Amino acid sequence: MALLFKSDIDRGDSWRRVLLELEPGLDLREWPEIGDPNDIEYALVWKPPQGELKTYPNLKAIFSLGAGIDHLASDPELPKDVPVVRMVEPGLTAGMTEFVIMSVLYHHRFMLDYAAQARAHQWREIDQVPAWERRVGIMGLGVLGGDAAEALVGLRFDVAGWSGSPKNLPGVTSFHGADGFLPFLNRSDILVCLLPLTPETEGILDASAFAALPSGAALINAARGGHVVEADLLAALDSGALGAATLDVFDTEPLPQGHPFWAHPRVRVTPHVAAITYGDTTAREIALNIKRFRAGAPMSGLVDRRRHY
Ligand code: NAP
Ligand code: GLV
């Protein structure tokens, strides 16, 4: 039972140790030292070269090292009948909630303005609103959005979420589907994107979405760059329709030198680090899923290939 392992992130030692503790029979092969491709039954990958995964005739499951699988789904040669499993693991969820809380508080407490004032040695108080009057909207109320929403409710924010199907989360106003999108945007002073990137959600944050937000709203995008039409975002920021943005993900990564986001006074840039998968907890989830798969039980994080997430 061989598992192929390819990562752009160096957490190999930790995966190896925990996987072998939990699945001692596992024959771990690190790409490109794959041996006989016929041996490979499972693949643990982040961004494999396009067409690579079709070269393993006995592949039984593909595990994404991240929550998103858009980088796999965009491979036209991805084997059609092999289950794809996205990463659901407590470290990733906790990390994303930290990032969302940090960013929401940053905008809620006008830290961008205070940082600019401090640079100008300016002592000026900005009128603060209480958290329960700040309306936070989370696009995507799945594993990550749901956890962040719960934490924001704990901080007393007025929280709503938008998803494909209705949700019942304590203290969170639920909007769903195409009909729910505009009313959801209309009440989002701080908008957080935690959607998967699919043909339906690509470019969803465009000029019309920004125009539907309350004037001066803030955007936090911790999902994928492809959700945002970058030119529309820049125009909305420059006109003041949008007050600020925290961006962790971009159309092109790394964000090219000279891109207007780097120097924009209303934009904060982080290098796709909102949440990372941790070695131990990730390996544990993969080992558990392999056990489930072999027992014929449902795997956690199994992707619905028709929905693309
Ligand atoms: P998830 O559990 O699959 O949740 C996805 C949510 O989006 C669900 O609530 C789903 O609605 C909703 N959704 C999907 N398509 C929709 C549509 N067309 N209209 C309305 N709602 C829609 O995913 P997750 O684990 O929370 O992860 C979300 C994304 O975060 C990942 O795909 C990845 O791109 C991103 N991410 C980024 C980082 C980073 O470091 N920046 C780290 C981890 C993840 P239903 O509940 O009705 O299905
Ligand atoms: C990171 O971007 C992930 O999808 O986990």
Please provide the DSSP assignment of 218-279 as one string: EEEE-S-GGGB-HHHHHHHHHHTSEEEEEES--SSSSPPTT-HHHH-TTEEE--S-S----H
Please give the CATH number for the structural domain made up of 90-269. Answer: 3.40.50.720
At the second CATH level, the architecture of 2-89+277-294 is: 3-Layer(aba) Sandwich (3.40)
**Residue 40: strand pairing partners:** 2
> Quick check: CB of 243 below 6 Å from ligand 2?
no
| Atom number, ligand 2, closest to the C-alpha of residue 272 | 2
Gap from CA of 105 to ligand 2 centroid (Å)? 22
- Res 16: pLDDT: 81
- Res 2: pLDDT: 84
Q: Domain extents for the chain?
A: 2-89+277-294, 90-269
Residue with tokens 């960013």: 103
Is residue 11 part of the annotated active site? The answer reads: no
- Please tell me the residue having the least CA distance from ligand 2 atom 1: 66
- Res 12: pLDDT: 63
Give me the count of residues in the chain.
309
Gap from CA of 74 to ligand 2 centroid (Å)? 15
- Res 10: pLDDT: 58
Q: Which parts of the chain have pLDDT scores under 50?
A: none
Same fold? 2-89+277-294, 90-269: yes
Which numbered ligand comes closest to the C-alpha of 142? 1
**Residue 246: strand pairing partners:** 220, 268
Gap from CA of 6 to ligand 2 centroid (Å)? 15
d(CA 220, CA 26): 40
Tell me the one-letter amino acid at 104. Answer: V
> Quick check: CB of 67 below 6 Å from ligand 2?
yes
Contact between residue 268 and residue 221 where contact means Cβ atoms under 8 Å apart:
no
Which numbered ligand comes closest to the C-alpha of 176? 1
Cα dihedral sign, 128-240-107-150: positive
